[in-house]
Amino acid sequence: MQPKTRLTLLIVALVATVVLLLSSLYLYSLAGSRFQDVMGNSRVAAEQVKNYLLQRVREQTRLLPPAGLEETKLMWRQFVRDDPLFTSFLVGTIASSSGVVEIFITDGEGTVLSTSNPMRLDHKAAAGRSLEAWSEQSTWRKLWQILTSNVDYELLVPLGTPRTNEVLFTVRVLVSPVLLRSLVLPQLRGLALVSLLSIVGSAVAAGILANIAARPLRRVSQMIDLIAQGRPEELPPATHDPQLAALQSKLTLLGEQIRGATENASQLRGNVAQLLERFEDAVLLFDRNDRLVMAGKATERFLPQGRWDLIGRSIEEVFPASTPVGAIVQTSAQLNRSVKDHLAQIAQQEGKPARALVSIEVLEDFPSRQRLGTMVTLRDAESRRQLESQLDVSYRHEAMGQILRGVAHEIKNPLNAIYTHLQLLQLEIAGEDEKLKQEVDVISREIKLLDRMVVTLLDFTRPLEIKREETDLAALAGEVAKLVRPEAAKKQVAVEIGGDCESAVVSGDYGLLRQAVMNVVKNAVESMTRPGTIRIEVARHDDAYVLAVADEGSGIPPEVRPKIFNLYFTTKGRGSGIGLAMSYRVAQLHDGTLEFDSEVGKGTTFRFRIPKSARRAAA
């Protein structure tokens, strides 16, 4: 609510309170005075009727004195019942008494003997509410009763004989609330009109005064709006009011400081946003009120809604407590506890749950240690596991390579010496003992085989020279399929080519890549123990191409999978254990990866992921 409005309402409320208070006092005094007048008029009317009745009765008894009490009662009754002057007196008394609606006289049994209303004559009079009891109530209660009720009030004046104390007649004066209301309502309406006009006038005057008083406030408000919009240079010129001029000077300085701070905050926010964009992990920043203020692009891989749709939402809306991730996030935020790499399942847009590593960091201010917000990080647990597995294989290959190079050199020299002496021995026994010669030939062949294995070891551990050129993986896949089909046909295995890429150009060594793919495809053929299909597909995936080789073989047992890329590890009786290790190494040399999925009894799929050619990627 604006200050001008508050000031106007305050003035109106103050004036209305004073007006209502004065009006209440005036109404209280007026109603009390009117009610006292009515009560006095009623008593005077009752006494007049009583005195007149007694006077008329005395006049009649002087002319014709009664013989006894019963004759006196009968004579009085006939007089009250039949005297026309007495009825006229009752009507005249009502005319001069405000608030009195009817006066009548009843006998000891309540029968009406004389009345200002001929309709009541000779009827039993019903008891009404006591006027005396009403007059003893508070003024406000009396006013409420006459405004809400139409039941008449009555004043009773009994008449009897002094000797017997017996009530012979009762004078009843009826006071109508309707007549009392007519006495008060005109003043009440006038009072309400005056009060209303006073309040309306005060509202108009308050609005004018508030408008005049709020002019400096409006000017200050305009200056604050310009500062909030980052336009302090558009502030109006200083006024002649010294206080307002000093305030404007301070606001101008504050505006410059706010603009500088806003620019710094905007630049910092932009830098943080760019940093979040580059993260592979999904990073979400919540403020101290648990509202999402920033989110990285990777967030869309984990959450079912887009990140821009989530900005501004509460932590309960982004991570509902009914989900595994929401439960740990909300608990951590409420308890101000950090969480590191908590494994949880999270539902993605496709509806397929994925495993994620959830980290929650509570951000605090220094040195007050007040909570500034919460940072939630989501990592793909499967990708991390695969990366760790690839690093583990690479470390093992490197370690094994160093060992094998040393072992190969140590074996090579004694092996050459043995082979030299064996040739000398062959020259000496030439033509002497044929059986001995055959045994020496066997030793020679085994030494040559051992030498070839040492050479293979040295070739595997020796750094390869990559001759990079633009290589089409789609064409390479077709060539490998063509070379393998004759061998696969012998086992009734079909080799098919598929994918959504007619051309998949990468920068790499064609010969090494073909040999790596050939090794995987040959393994696929050898794993097929029944007729089936091997499918080679090349697909585009972000900034890389994926060449997949899927077979319908027996699959790889779970206990074997961690060792599948180890050098010399094989599950085949005649295998060397070098093919997959070499293929894995070739993929790494091309800045790519070799991964696989396998299901026992259904088959295995190997995937080469090779980055696109830099020239094609730029295009």
- CATH code assigned at 474: 3.30.565.10
Q: How far apart are CA 434 and CA 436, in angstroms?
A: 5
For residue range 444-484, list pLDDT tens digits in order: 777 776 665 666 555 555 555 678 889 999 999 999 999 99
Copy the structure tokens of residue 380: 């793909």
**331 and 391 co-located in one domain:** no
Q: Label residue 366 by pLDDT band (50, 70, 90).
A: low
Q: Is residue 206 part of a domain?
A: no
Q: Which CATH number does the domain housing residue 327 bear? A: 3.30.450.20
29 three-class SS: helix
Hey, what's the torsion of the CAs at 381, 385, 386, 387, to 10 degrees? 100
How many C-beta atoms lie closer than 10 Å to residue 155's C-beta?
A: 22
Smallest CA-to-CA distance from 398 within 460, 341, 454, 488 is with 460
**452 and 549 co-located in one domain:** no
**277 and 316 co-located in one domain:** yes
DSSP strand pairing (153-160 vs 129-130): parallel
Q: What pLDDT sits at residue 48?
A: 83
Q: Is residue 207 part of a domain?
A: no
Q: Which amino acid is at 526?
A: E
**275 and 147 co-located in one domain:** no
Quick one: DSSP state of residue 295? E
**158 and 244 co-located in one domain:** no
In the listed set 338, 363, 384, which residue is the last one of a domain according to the structure?
384
In the listed set 235, 268, 301, which residue is the last one of a domain according to the structure?
268
Q: What is the domain count for the chain?
A: 5
Q: Strands, E, within 328-478: which ranges?
A: 339-347, 353-364, 371-380, 469-472
Q: Is residue 526 part of a domain?
A: yes
Number of residues assigned to the chain = 619
Copy the structure tokens of residue 282: 């999904």
Mean of pLDDT values over 266-270 = 63
Find out whether 480 and 518 touch, Cβ atoms under 8 Å: yes
**132 and 179 co-located in one domain:** yes
Q: Is residue 99 part of a domain?
A: yes
In the listed set 438, 461, 484, which residue is the last one of a domain according to the structure?
461
| Geometric angle at alpha carbon 78, from 75 and 83, rounded to 5° | 120
**445 and 538 co-located in one domain:** no
Q: Is residue 204 part of a domain?
A: no
Phi, psi (rounded to 5 degrees) for 113: -100, -35
**pTM of the predicted structure, to 2 decimals:** 0.37
Choose the weakest-confidence range: 192-201, 349-358, 413-422: 349-358
Query: Which is it for the CA torsion 447, 450, 456, 457, positive or negative?
Result: negative
Q: How far apart are CA 594 and CA 580, in angstroms?
A: 9
Q: What pLDDT sits at residue 609?
A: 92
Q: Which residues contact 150 (CB under 8 A, 6 or more apart)?
A: 177, 178
**27 and 146 co-located in one domain:** yes
For residue range 562-598, list pLDDT tens digits in order: 888 776 667 665 555 677 888 888 888 888 888 999 9
Copy the structure tokens of residue 428: 């000496």
**276 and 249 co-located in one domain:** no
Q: Which amino acid is at 613?
A: S
**473 and 590 co-located in one domain:** yes
**301 and 450 co-located in one domain:** no
| Domain ranges, residue 424 | 386-461
Q: How far apart are CA 563 and CA 315, in angstroms?
A: 43
DSSP readout, 251-304?
HHHHHHHHHHHHHHHHHHHHHHHHHHHH-SSEEEEEETTSBEEEE-GGGGGTSS
Q: What pLDDT sits at residue 234?
A: 62
Q: Is residue 202 part of a domain?
A: no
**593 and 492 co-located in one domain:** yes
- Maximum CA extent, the chain: 201
Q: Is residue 208 part of a domain?
A: no
Say yes or no to pLDDT of 546 above 90: yes
Say yes or no to pLDDT of 314 above 50: yes
Mean of pLDDT values over 26-44 = 81
Q: 121: buried, middle or exposed (CB in 10 Å: 19+, 13-18, 0-12)?
A: middle
Q: Which amino acid is at 554?
A: S
Q: Is residue 227 part of a domain?
A: yes
